[in-house]
């Protein structure tokens, strides 16, 4: 897993969405204008999960 999108608030009609992205071995939270390192994403509350295939790491795949 290299990223998540999570919701902060009571319901999807109100509140706020934030993204957590893995950069190297550290996690970064993107919250509007605030960008900071964090311990890790709240995976159990994420709406979207982003994964990277191991066979695509390091070089582009010409088949895409």
Task: List residues with catalytic annotation.
Answer: 16
Are the CB atoms for 21 and 27 separated by under 8 Å?
yes
For residue 28, what pLDDT is reported?
Answer: 96
Say how far apart CA 30 and CA 23 lie, in whole Å. Answer: 12
In the chain, % of residues over pLDDT 90: 50
For residue 25, what pLDDT is reported?
Answer: 92
């Amino acid at each position: 897993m290299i990223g998540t999108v999570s919701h902060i608030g009571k319901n999807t009609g109100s509140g706020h969405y934030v993204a957590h992205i893995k950069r190297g071995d550290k996690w970064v939270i993107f919250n509007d204008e605030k960008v900071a390192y964090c311990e890790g994403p709240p995976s159990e509350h994420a709406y979207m999960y982003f994964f990277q295939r191991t066979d695509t790491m390091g070089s582009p795949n010409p088949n895409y």
